């Protein structure tokens, strides 16, 4: 099977998986948000934040090296990866248990101490996951991993409403997090083709350390990037005596999750497809640059489509999904959209960096993004409107993207110039989307979905014109692929 056919099959499998998984996740969060109060939803977001911190603090990325390494298919190498994952789970569980009383104090939720103790089961379950489904992704076989993700998300979604009604507060999200991770652990064991074993090969452990150490630091930086805003808002009362509280965290989390979900879906699909392809092209700079350039153009198009849809209709979509209770969060939608649209575009230089094994470059880039989080402190100290939290994040993403491009030029040899056109089209698209939004507001600040739909249609016609060369090129590839399938029949 040629590479392009594998890619299209991979797109189909991963696309279905991510649509189902992210769809289930979004619906689950909506159900919980509608059942519990914004403050309880904020506490639920704190649980997710703590788990993310522990996972990133202990993440040596054994799954990434399993895909990237030339000998990643070797049993001993995989067994070492599973041993690393087990150590990670034990360490994460221990850290949560030790820090549970401090966490409940820091976030001013003393009644949740027991919940933090229970949260330690999440990294523990993850430590016993089988990594065979990651190994077989080397050959663009995404079915087992997709089945696990879809299956667990569907089961958790079915349980969300009854568990939410049963508890009626933040404990509902805690229960769902535990169930999800337990099902994922069981799923990885069921789909594995090899027996679950550990190996403590010293040389392989050193390789995981040298590869994963920069990514470990990068993981901590990513926690600050993804969760730092809510951490600062959640701890603002204890740290700064600010008026920010769990209600603010709840509002911000609702908008953040709504905008984040489609980006994470597209990003995960693109990364899973691009990383194996680009990794295998390391020895051919010309072909590598050609594939990377096209990848960049496609992602710029996707980021523009996403940005346009959510800038034009995001505030109305938020109210439709969460209800009038979350109206204070509507002001966040434009800047959170800009933030995540840039993040989607930034995945291109980030994946190029990983494919070339230059993980330190990715770390330096995320340091820039992490430092921008400091800009949120004066926002909460002076109790400014929390839209400024999203603005600070968007500016940080833009700075990190530009730094990543420059570092790739220095360390990988990818010219900065090949990003100028996609980047320019992306900026033009977001500016145009905001102009459509402002026009709608001038006409009618409460425009109907019909009017919004017309604006989205006009915006996408503009995108067809701006990205016509990318679209025509991909249509050509689709036609060639279709002809090959006819020939095979």
Amino acid 161: pLDDT: 93
d(CA 81, CA 360): 21
160-183 CB burial, b ≥16 within 10 A, e <16: bbebbeebebbbbbbbbbebbbbb
What are the tokens at 343? 């993040």
Please count the residues of the chain: 489
Sign for the pseudo-dihedral over CA of 252, 257, 263, 268? positive
Chain Cα centroid distance, residue 158:
23
Alpha-carbon dihedral 145, 148, 152, 153, rounded to 10 degrees: 40
Amino acid 5: pLDDT: 59
Could you identify the residue written with the tokens 């820090």? 99
Amino acid 255: pLDDT: 92
Amino acid 271: pLDDT: 75
Low-confidence ranges of the chain (pLDDT < 50): 1, 481, 484-489
What are the tokens at 152? 């667990």
Q: What is the 3-state secondary structure (H, E, C) of the chain?
A: CCHHHHHHHHHHHHHHHHHHHHHHHHHHHHHHHHHCCHHHHHHHHHHHHHHHHHHHHCCCCHHHHHHHCCCCCCHHHHHHHHHHHHHHHHHHHHHHHHHHHHHHHHCCCHHHHHHHHHHCHHHHHHHCCCCHHHHHHHHCCCHHHHHHHHHHHHHHHHHHHHHHHHHCCCHHHHHHHHHHHHHHHHHHHHHCCCCCCCCCCHHHHHHHHHHHHHHHHHHHHHHHHHHHHHHHHHHHHHHHCCCCCHHHHHHHHHHHHHHHHHHHHHHHHHHHHHHHHHHHCCCCHHHHHHHHHHHHHHHHHHHHHHHHHHHHHHHHHHHHHHCHHHHHHHHHHHHHHHHHHHHHHHHHHHHHHHHCCCHHHHHHHHHHHHHHHHHHHHHHHCCCCCHHHHHHHHHHHHHHHHHHHHHHHHHCCCCHHHHHHHHHHHHHHHHHHHHHHHHHHHHCCCCCHHHHHHHHHHHHHHHHHHCHHHHHHHHHHHHHHHHHHHHHC
Region of 242 (left: φ > 0; alpha: ψ -120 to 50; beta: rest) is: beta
Amino acid 451: pLDDT: 64
Amino acid 426: pLDDT: 87
């Amino acid at each position: 099977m040629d590479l392009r056919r594998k890619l299209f099959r991979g797109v189909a499998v991963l696309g279905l998986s991510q649509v189902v998984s992210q769809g289930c996740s979004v619906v689950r969060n909506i159900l919980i948000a509608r059942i519990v109060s914004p403050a309880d939803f904020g506490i639920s977001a704190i649980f997710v934040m703590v788990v993310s911190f522990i996972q990133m603090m202990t993440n040596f990325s054994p799954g990434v090296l399993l895909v990237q390494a030339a000998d990643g298919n070797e049993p001993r190498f995989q067994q070492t990866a599973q041993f690393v994952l087990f150590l990670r789970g034990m360490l994460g569980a221990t850290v949560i248990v030790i820090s549970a009383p401090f966490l409940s104090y820091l976030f001013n939720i003393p009644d949740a101490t027991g919940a933090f103790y229970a949260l330690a089961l999440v990294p523990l379950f993850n430590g016993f996951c089988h990594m065979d489904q990651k190994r077989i992704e080397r050959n663009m076989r995404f079915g087992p991993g997709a089945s696990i993700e879809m299956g667990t998300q569907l089961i958790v979604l079915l349980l969300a409403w009854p568990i939410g009604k049963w508890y009626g507060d933040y404990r509902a999200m805690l229960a769902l997090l535990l169930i999800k991770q337990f099902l994922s652990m069981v799923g990885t064991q069921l789909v594995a083709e090899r027996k679950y074993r550990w190996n403590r090969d010293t040389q392989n452990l050193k390789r995981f350390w040298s590869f994963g150490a920069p990514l470990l630091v990068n993981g901590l930086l990513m926690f600050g990037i993804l969760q730092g805003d809510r951490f600062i808002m959640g701890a603002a009362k204890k740290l700064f005596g600010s008026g920010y509280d769990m209600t603010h965290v709840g509002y911000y989390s609702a908008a953040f999750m709504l905008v984040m979900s489609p980006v994470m879906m597209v990003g995960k699909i693109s990364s899973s497809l691009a990383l194996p392809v680009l990794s295998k092209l390391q020895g051919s700079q010309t072909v590598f640059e050609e594939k990377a350039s096209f990848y960049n153009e496609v992602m710029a198009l996707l980021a523009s489509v996403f940005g346009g849809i959510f800038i034009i209709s995001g505030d109305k979509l938020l109210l439709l999904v969460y209800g009038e209770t979350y109206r204070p969060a509507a002001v966040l939608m434009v800047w959170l959209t800009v933030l995540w649209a840039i993040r989607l575009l930034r995945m291109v230089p980030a994946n190029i960096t990983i494919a070339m094994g230059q993980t330190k470059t990715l770390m330096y880039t995320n340091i820039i993004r992490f430092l921008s989080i400091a800009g949120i402190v004066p926002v909460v100290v002076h109790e400014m409107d929390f839209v400024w939290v999203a603005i600070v994040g968007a500016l940080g993403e833009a700075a990190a993207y530009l730094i990543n491009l420059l570092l790739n030029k220095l360390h990988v040899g990818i010219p900065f110039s090949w990003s100028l056109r996609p980047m320019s089209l992306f900026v033009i698209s977001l500016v145009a989307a905001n102009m459509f939004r402002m026009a709608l507001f001038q006409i009618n600040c409460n425009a109907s979905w019909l009017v919004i739909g017309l604006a989205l249609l006009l915006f996408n016609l503009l995108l067809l014109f701006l990205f016509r060369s990318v679209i025509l090129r991909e249509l050509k590839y689709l036609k060639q692929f279709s002809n090959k399938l006819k020939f095979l029949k």
